[in-house]
Amino acid sequence: MTNDTSARIETVQARPLLPDVIRSFAIVAGGVIVMTIAAKTQIPFYPVPMTLHTAAVMAFALALSPRMSMAVFAAYLTAGAVGLPVFAGTPERGIGLAYMMGPTGGYLAGYLIASWLVAVLAAGRGTIGRVAAMLLGLAIVYACGVAWLVNFVPADKLFAMGVAPFVLGDLLKIALVAAGASAVALLPGMRSRP
């Protein structure tokens, strides 16, 4: 086989990958935009206002493959690390790595882990399995968040400041995401994940 022929074969074989790359890039870019909107959206709630961050992480984990779900959140973290005001409270409470190293840094790391873990555990499961996966993911978020928050808050206040104010809102968001995922699963052609 000549070099010219082998080059044409490689080109022909590479072409189908281009639409997949474009599609993946579009999903990740769109995911970062949705994640940013979710983080910036504040809903009055008791005892603290809630954002839709948890809902977005869990929804992507149910809708996408583990690789793509994690890619969305990793790209979101990268956008924040380079200084784009994508996080809740930015730019008012700082931007970039300074924000990520602050009190919410552990929660952000937990979301990254949860984005992959929930996608793995929820794949092919029914509503109860998806809810269980999201609850485990939420536990990971809280564990990472509190483990990092100990650098900023006295140990006796960790649960009261780092978990308790968010549990009710996060459980409500998980319930809404589970209901939405169940409704979407009923639609024709919605069985596979990118």
Can you give the pLDDT of all 194 residues of the chain as single tens digits? 555 555 544 545 555 667 888 999 999 999 999 999 999 999 988 777 899 999 999 999 999 999 999 999 999 999 999 999 999 988 888 899 999 999 999 999 999 999 999 999 999 999 999 999 999 999 999 999 999 999 999 999 999 999 999 999 999 999 999 999 999 877 776 555 56
Q: Is the bond preceding 91 in cis, omega lying within 30 degrees of 0? A: yes
Q: What is the DSSP letter of 157?
A: G
pLDDT of residue 158: 94
pLDDT of residue 4: 55
pLDDT of residue 89: 85
Take residue 68 and report the two structure tokens written for it.
Answer: 């793509």
pLDDT of residue 179: 95
Q: In this structure, are residues 65 and 121 in contact, taking their beta carbons and an 8 Å threshold?
A: no
pLDDT of residue 93: 84
pLDDT of residue 110: 98
Of 181, 166, 187, nearest in space to 46 by CA = 166
Q: Is the bond preceding 85 in cis, omega lying within 30 degrees of 0? A: no
What CATH architecture applies to the domain 3-185? Orthogonal Bundle (1.10)
pLDDT of residue 73: 97
pLDDT of residue 187: 72
